[in-house]
Amino acid sequence: MTFASPADDEVAPDLFRVCFVCSGNICRSPMAEVVFRDLAEKAGIGHRIASSSAGTGDWHVGEPADRRTVAALHRRGYDGAMHRARQFDPEWFDELDLVVALDHSHKRILDHWAGTPDNQAKIALLMSFAPHHGDALDVPDPYYSDDAMFDSVLDLVERSCAGLVHQLEPALKHEHRR
Nearest to 165 by CA among 83, 75, 54, 49: 49
For residue 53, which phi and psi values (nearest 5 degrees)? -150, 160
CB 19 within 8 A of CB 52: yes
Q: What is the DSSP string of the chain?
A: ---SSGGG-TT-TTSEEEEEEESSSSSHHHHHHHHHHHHHHHTT-GGGEEEEEEESS-TTTTPPPPHHHHHHHHHTT---TT----B--GGGGGG-SEEEESSHHHHHHHHHHH-SHHHHTTEEEGGGGSTT-TT--PPPP-TTS-HHHHHHHHHHHHHHHHHHHHHHHHHHHHHHH-
Hey, which residues are catalytic here? 22, 28, 141
